[in-house]
């Protein structure tokens, strides 16, 4: 069955956060993301794609009984998504209730302080997944987890990483595990011992860690460099910090 004009309009509306929240639904674009989605615990409600791709995807998800499978042309798929290159498959899923991360003395998780760029957020989620970090706590100003650009940048890792939004200073103030944050006047990360678990704070792309969150960072660390750049991209810094943590462990 082909996708209707009404359904196309509905999928397009989910590009806007207001309507995502109203419908409690979000869009996943591209073969990689849709494949990961169908293997996950997310409730998938709709998959639409070109006939050949749709058949292949459906064959790989025989247990998904409640999914509506609808055919669409490459042109229609591009119009429904936010990327011109998405011309094969697209899915809609229900949002799930995020879990409040519980600080664990033997596990690390991330705290994101006002990460505004959806692409950065998605890359951070993907990086966290690579290192086995499955819990992220984020400030209310941080980009939306369900933004299509965030979902796309995760390359499927959104299925395995939980992101919970709350007031960071209040939350971190109650954490007994070590709280780390990157600063220009911090301790060289290569000389910083990382044991047990803790929280790694990643600051805003332009302004770094905010003064309010800085007050609850108990371990200031510094990523040394030999070039002239003023700062690192937030997602790159996340990868460097996590690599140092897990190499030392």
Which residue range is the domain that position 71 belongs to? Answer: 5-94
Question: What pTM value is reported for the model?
Answer: 0.94
User: Cα dist. 25→108, 201, 219 in Å?
Assistant: 29, 29, 39
- In total, how many domains does the chain have? 2
Same-domain check for residues 232 and 186: yes
Same-domain check for residues 239 and 124: yes
Answer whether residue 160 is part of any domain: yes
Alpha carbon distance, N-terminus to C-terminus of the chain: 53
Answer whether residue 235 is part of any domain: yes
Is residue 194 helix, strand or coil?
coil
pLDDT tens digits in sequence order for the chain, 249 residues long: 899 999 999 999 999 999 999 999 999 999 999 999 999 999 999 999 999 999 888 887 767 778 999 999 988 998 888 776 666 899 999 999 988 888 777 899 999 999 999 999 999 999 999 999 999 999 999 999 999 999 999 999 999 999 999 999 999 999 989 999 988 889 999 999 998 899 999 999 889 999 999 999 999 999 998 888 878 899 999 999 999 999 876
Residue 233: partners with Cβ closer than 8 Å, 6 or more residues away: 120, 205
- CA-CA-CA-CA dihedral for 138, 158, 202, 210, to nearest 10: -30
Same-domain check for residues 174 and 243: yes
- 141: domain CATH number? 3.40.1280.10
């Amino acid at each position: 069955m082909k996708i209707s004009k009404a359904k196309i309009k509905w999928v397009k509306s989910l590009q806007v956060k207001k309507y995502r929240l109203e419908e409690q639904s979000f869009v996943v674009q591209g073969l990689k993301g849709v494949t990961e989605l169908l293997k996950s615990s997310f409730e998938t409600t709709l998959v639409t794609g070109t006939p050949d791709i749709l058949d292949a995807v459906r064959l790989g998800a025989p247990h998904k009984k409640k999914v509506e499978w609808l055919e669409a042309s490459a042109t229609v798929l591009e119009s429904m998504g936010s990327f011109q290159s998405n011309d094969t498959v697209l899915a809609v899923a229900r949002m799930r209730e995020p879990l409040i991360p519980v600080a664990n003395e033997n596990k690390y998780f991330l705290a994101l302080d006002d990460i505004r760029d959806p692409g950065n957020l998605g890359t951070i989620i993907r990086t966290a997944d690579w290192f086995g970090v499955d819990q992220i706590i984020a400030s209310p100003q941080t980009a939306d987890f369900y933004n299509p650009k965030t979902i796309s940048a995760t390359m499927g890792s959104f299925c395995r990483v939980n992101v919970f939004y709350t007031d960071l200073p209040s939350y971190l103030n109650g954490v007994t595990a070590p709280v780390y944050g990157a600063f220009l006047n911090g301790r060289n990360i290569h000389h910083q011992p990382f044991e047990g678990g803790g929280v790694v704070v990643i600051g805003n792309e332009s302004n770094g860690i905010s003064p309010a969150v800085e007050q609850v960072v108990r371990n200031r660390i510094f990523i040394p460099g030999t070039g002239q750049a003023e700062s690192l991209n937030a997602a790159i810094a996340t990868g460097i910090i996590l690599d140092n943590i897990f190499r030392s462990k």
